Amino acid sequence: MISQILSPVHTSSRDDAVLQALVGFVTDEGLVPGDRLPTERVLAERLKVSRTTVREALTRWQELGLVERRQGSGTYLKAAVTRNMLHMPLTLASGNDFNSLMHTLEIRRGLEAEAAALSAARVSDADIAMIEQKLIRMEEAFHERHGMSADEDWDFHLAVFRTSGNPLFEQIIAAMYEMFHRFWEHPLGVRDFGHASFPYHRTLFNAIAARDPIAARAEALKLIATVEDDLKRGAANLKKQTQKNRVHI
């Protein structure tokens, strides 16, 4: 079961070395998410370090969501593990207040504009057809439901990111998007949130289809600006309500 791959660690920062050895083990053994890792006690023995050190290393992986521990059962791989992984822990103060949501939008403004410009510079004809298909589905959903549909909207944006040729955009913006939407059924009480952004989806597509990076960046910025306006409107509403209810405090 345990091959000879696990060799004693030697260098500094024991638990770093343990993680490095674990990466080697996981990749060489071809483990995939869901598979079980060796026991803590086994790892400790194989790596010639104490169980405490192994536990510290696994705790770090657990915090990064790479691994899940179940008492009495074992430790299970939760995500793909490769060498040269880059860890980027994002911490936001209290995800649902106005400032935090605004912060995610500021990140999106910088990244979506850049992604749109890169996409316009790099799309293939097939990419353009694919993006237009997503756009049409979004527009259909909009007219059926008389409002923005989060899923179709996200599919469209995702298509743009993926044609940017840089996978980092998708992963980072996806995290921002999730933070933003985790708390938005009706974020800050604003109904038909994102309604104003609708027309800019087509203008953005047109700029990309025309392979015009400058125009694409401009349209992406306009789109984000409408979302920011919605958010500010929501914050104003919230403030008004708070003032109205102040007597209860």
The token pair that represents 22 in the structure block: 């674990």
Among 52, 99, 171, 241, binds DNA (CB under 7 A): 52
Q: Which does 73 bind (CB under 5 to 8 A by kind): DNA, its own copies, none?
A: DNA
Q: What's the CA gap between 170 and 167, in Å, rounded?
A: 6
Is 113 a binder of its own copies (CB under 8 A)?
yes
Residue choice 21, 26, 49, 113 for contact with DNA (CB under 7 A): 49
Judged by CB under 8 A, the stretch of 3-11, 94-102, 123-131, 147-155 that binds its own copies is 94-102
15 interacts with DNA by CB under 7 A: yes
Q: Based on the shown chain and the rule CB under 7 A, indicate whether residue 219 belongs to the binding site for DNA.
A: no
d(CA 231, CA 180): 11
Span interacting with DNA, options 43-51, 114-122, 144-152, 227-235, rule CB under 7 A: 43-51
Residue 72's binding partner out of DNA, its own copies, none, with CB under 5 to 8 Å set by partner kind: DNA
The angle at the Cα of 125, spanning 124 to 127, to the nearest 5 degrees, equals 65
Alpha-carbon distance of 246 to 249, in angstroms, equals 5
Nearer to its own copies, 175 or 196 (CB): 175
Contact (CB, 8 A) for 57 and 23 = no
List the one residue out of 47, 50, 37, 44 whose CA is nearest residue 4.
47
Among 11, 30, 93, 245, binds its own copies (CB under 8 A): 93
145-173 in b/e form (b: 16+ CB < 10 A) is: eeebbeebbbbbbbbbbbbbebeebbebb
Interaction of residue 53 with DNA, rule CB under 7 A: yes
Residue 121 binds to its own copies (criterion: CB under 8 A): no
Neighbours of 220 (CB within 10 A): 28
Q: Which residues bind DNA (CB under 7 A)?
A: 13-15, 37, 39-41, 44, 48-53, 55-56, 58, 69-75
